[in-house]
Structure formats: structure tokens, C-alpha cells
Amino acid sequence: MTHDTIAVIDFGGQYAHLIATKVRRLGVRAEIRQPEDPLESYEGVRGIVISGSPSLSAYGEDSDYNRSIYDLDVPILGFCFGHQEIAKHYGGTVVHGGREWGHAELHLTVDDHPLFRGLGPVEPVWMSHYDSVTALGPDFEELGYTSTGAGGEHRLAAIGSDRLRRYGFQYHPEVDDTVNGERMIANFVFEICGCRATWSMDGVLDEIVEEVRRRVGERSVFLLASGGVDSTVAAAVLGRALGPERVHLLHIDNGLMRKDESRQVLALFERLGLDRHLHFEDASETFLSALDGVIEPERKRRVIGDTFVEVFQRKARELGIEDHLLGQGTIYPDTVETGGTKRADVIKTHHNRVPVIEAMIEQGRVVEPLADLYKVEVRELGERLGIPHEALWRHPFPGPGLGVRLLCSNGVPDRDGLDAMGPGLAEAEARFGLRALPLPIRSVGVKADLRAYEHPVLLVGDAPWATVLEAVGWITAQVPGVNRCVLHLGGDAPTEPRPLAAGVTRARLDLLREADALVMDGLRRHGLYDEVWQCPTVLVPLCLGADGGETVVVRPIRSQRAMTATPVRLPDALVEELLRDVLTLPGVSAVLLDVTSKPPGTIEWE
């Protein structure tokens, strides 16, 4: 059937994709549009949302996009940058200044406006902007305001013109911190745009199956099946669309798998009836050889991705199926974080977006049935396909496997910028009663949708959890060059942290496998596995004390779509067990807990 559709114009911010998925959860189709897209691409849409942007300013001259959208006879709602653009286009004034960051209170000024139907006179909202709307053009009125600063300066936070059907929110209703943001989006979708809720995952499954059949035709598909949620659901979708006889699955043991992973993966696909053409390749030596001497994280990801393709192509030749299409379990965040949109910064390179794969996509040789879905939607799809709960709700595991959880180093301390942190960290220590040590290594983070490859800070001391989180928020916001904080749980008392020379080796991977298995078993034993969305265990070649051992970092987080995440406090009993068990592993001398949200720290360390 034809679904009512809302178009979301993506100016490069990951929040644009939160908008789209929030609309979908309402039962209305949402599609991403690029700022330069022609008017023809909006044919049939019932409304438009203009997203915020991590890099554009409505105040400057760099906000170039197809402004002909304002000639369309459909409602338009702008968030943050979009709010400012709508105000400016219709004769309002935008100034550079008046920053608001974080929580604010929206005071509604118009009674029973359709956008705010069912809401109270004061609503908690979340702000993230520097430019501000200070005056409105003809036809527009203030719908709500915020007060900032000691003097309670009045800020235009919600504006609208019912005659033009143009509206703007300075805040972000798509994030969870705007408590009733989903209701505001729903009011726009249903009250203003008049959409019908006809879009559901049942319908999506039918549409995806039909699209796969159209895309593949009479050919067959060869899928690299890691056993993760995405590749497993992709395999089941392909099996539903094409039949198991036209789906070849290749599971590669790249030496970067978890403990007993390959055995479990092969058993799962047999259980799903997808073992008609199930192939297994132990390529661990090939991968370890390719990774020998590779230290830099992005190069490591690329080597892993390229080696996957080399092994796949070699195996395809051996099986005589080179003409098959390549199937992948790519989901939406993969393409977002790889810079899949014109203005999105590359946060990290995904193994399924290396140049070889990009070339195959250009040649029409790749089929990605899940590329428009988020993780929660992929899981819902898997439920409809009969995939076992334990397989669908296992923690997400990165495509490059333990390769991005095994940090490497040439042993030379990276002290660039550490001295400048001194005053800020000294103030943090005085404020929060925690020792704060900058670490001479780097991990990847994300700030304002841009990659931030910066230093972690080690926190040492006994403080309440709320104090720890407050310290993390203060340090990552106030101290330059910091994107992550880790809490010392036990082991060697930190003296002068120093990196160790270490690369990708089977011995280090085996050590990480054992540490990871202990953490996963502990979460299950304490009934936390389903509560924690993901918990990477990271092996860092960093010596904190005198014995020369490495450091294990545990990163339990809660999330819904991987775009944002919050750290999870582990029970004291579990912490004690992990310290007892992990510290007995040979070569481990300290255990740390990653207490950073995303942003500013990405979920993985590389």
C-alpha cells in the first residue's frame, strides 16, 4: 500500500536519523532527503522536518540548500538550525550568540496549539545551540520561550505561522531529554500534517522481501555471516525472499571472534534451516598476518575489511559462485558513522564500507536488505522471522570483532596536549574529590557529530556514582582534549601510566577472549545481560603500575539505537568477582570501568 510519508532533511547530524526513526515508531513512513535534492524528490510527502546540523550556521553564509522547499504546499517544521533557517527565510532575525546547552524549560505562550496539544504549560526540553532567533517576520508568532542566564533572558524557543504552516523548535524534541518530545513530533505528524499510521514492521518485512526479489532477480546471494544480529536477520530475510537454495552463507573465523563464537554461529544457522549452502573458513592466520605490525585504528579497520573481501572473493572462486551478489547486514548507523551522507563526518570506518565494498556497491553487486533500519527495528524484524530470542538480543558485536577492542601501541607515550589539561584536571580534583590522571594514549569519541580522537582521563578514588558521573560531565566539557573518563576499579595503584609496545597477536586476542567471557558470564549470572545493551571489554596496552601488565577496560552501556549511550553502574558484588577473576589472567594488572556517555565517547574505543 502507499504510506503517508514525512521527509527529514539531513544536514549531517546523527540526530536527523533519530527524527526519522521517531516518526517511524509512530507508524508513519519517514525518508531521509539531502539538502540539495530537487523538489521532485518531495513529491507525495505530507510534511517536511529540517534537522539540526553539527557544522552549519544559520547566521553565516555557508548554509546552502534547496530553499525552493519553502514553495511547497506542505507543513515544514525545523529543529535547532532548521528553526533558525525558517525564521530567517520569512523575515526574522538570527544572531550569533545566546548559547543554550542541555536542559531548559519551555514556557508555552499559546493556549491549545495543535503542536503542543496534550502538554503542560511548562515542558522540559534539551538545547544545543549558539545562534539564536531574536525577532520574527510577518505572519509568525511566538509559541514558547525559555529564560536563560541570571537575568532570565527571554529566548524564542518555539515559533509558528498557522497560515503558512511553518514552525520551528530551537530545542531537540527527538532526544529523550526532551521529555514529551515524541508527543510534539506526533502532534506535527498527525495534527498538522494529517498523516495516517499505516507503516508497521509487518509491512516493512513484506516491502523488504519484495525489494530483495526485484533487486536480485534470478541471481543468488553470497552473505558474509558473522552470526551477529544484523547478519543473521539479513540471512533470514534473504532466505525468505529467495529460498535457502539461492543463499550461500560464509562464516569466516578471522581470529577476532569471541570465545567459542564460530561453533555457536554455525549451530544457529543450522537451527534456522539456512545450512543448505553454509560454508566455514578458518582464516585466522590470514587476518593475523595482514594485521601484523598494524597499530593505527583506522588502518586496522581497513585491513580487516579488505581481508574479509579477499577471503570472500577467494572462497567464491573456489565454490564457483563469483557471479553471486554480495549480501551484507549493513544497518543505518553504519552508513551514518562512515560519512554516508554528504555532510556527515566520518566517525569511524565500518568493515562493510571500505573502498572495495564501495566499488562493488557502485557496480550494483551488493544487496543490503537492512540498510534503512535501526538496530531495534532489525530485532523486531528478526522476531517476525522466527529467529530465537537469545540470538536477536545478544549484545551488538562490531563487524571487525575484537580487532577494535584490542588496542595497539608502538610504546611511545602520546603526551600531546596533556600539559594543557593540568589546570582543568586540578580543578576537577578539588571539585569532586577524585584523582584525575590524563592517559598518554587516545581513543575515538564524537563531539557535535565530529570525530574527536582524544585522551581518556583516569579517575581514582571512592566517590558516589552520581559524583563520578558529574565529574565525567564536567571534565569532558571543560578540559580540552578529553573525550572519555575511566574509573579505576582495582589492581595496580596508578603511578605514572605508560603505554606498552603491543600489536595484534593471537596471544593478546586469547587473553581478551578470556576477559570478555568472564565479563559476559558475570552479567548473565547477575541477571544484567538483558538490562545492559552492550558491554565491550577492551584490552589496552597501558601499564598503570610497576609489574608491566596490561589494562582491561569494561564498558557497560544502555542505548536504543547506538546513536547515544549512557554508562551503567555495575553491582559491587559483580565488580568484586570481575576483579578476582580478570586480575588472575596472566598479563593483566588493572581493571577500569568506562563511565563515559555517548557523546562524547563512542561505544567502542576504536
By annotation, the residues acting in catalysis are: 80, 172, 174
Residue showing cell 547478519: 231
In terms of phi and psi (left: phi > 0; alpha: psi -120 to 50; beta: otherwise), the region of 32 is beta
User: Comparing C-alpha atoms, which of 529, 543, 523, 599 is closest to residue 567?
Assistant: 599
| Element of type H or E holding 154 | strand 153-161
Nine-digit cell string for 308: 574479509
Distance, CA of 92 to CA of 423 (rounded, Å): 42
b/e map of 109-135 (b: 16 or more CB within 10 Å)? eeeebebbeebeeebebbbbbebbbee
Q: Is the dihedral of CA 16, 19, 24, 28 positive or negative?
A: negative
DSSP state letter for 501: E
**Residue 73: CB atoms within 10 Å:** 5
- Helix/strand/coil percentages in the chain, nearest 5: 35, 25, 40
Q: How many CA atoms lie within 13 A of 548 on its CB side?
A: 3
DSSP for 323-367? Answer: TSEEE----HHHHHHTT-STT-------GGGSHHHHHHHHTT-EE
Q: Give whole-number Cα distances, 335 to 13, 50, 330, 371, 433, in Å.
A: 13, 20, 8, 8, 41
How many helices (H) and strands (E) in the chain?
16, 27
User: Comparing C-alpha atoms, which of 286, 216, 295, 234 is closest to residue 255?
Assistant: 286
In this structure, what are the phi and psi dihedrals at residue 157, rounded to the nearest 5 degrees? -100, -20
Q: Is the dihedral of CA 48, 103, 89, 14 positive or negative?
A: negative
User: Comparing C-alpha atoms, which of 531, 251, 174, 237 is closest to residue 379?
Assistant: 237
Q: Is 308 helix (H, G, I), strand (E, B) or coil?
A: helix
User: Comparing C-alpha atoms, which of 601, 603, 593, 600 is closest to residue 560?
Assistant: 603
Contact criterion met (CB below 8 Å) for 147 and 128: no
In this structure, what are the phi and psi dihedrals at residue 189, rounded to the nearest 5 degrees? -65, -45
Contact criterion met (CB below 8 Å) for 180 and 123: yes
Contact criterion met (CB below 8 Å) for 52 and 82: yes
Contact criterion met (CB below 8 Å) for 308 and 284: no
Q: How many CA atoms lie within 13 A of 27 on its CB side?
A: 6
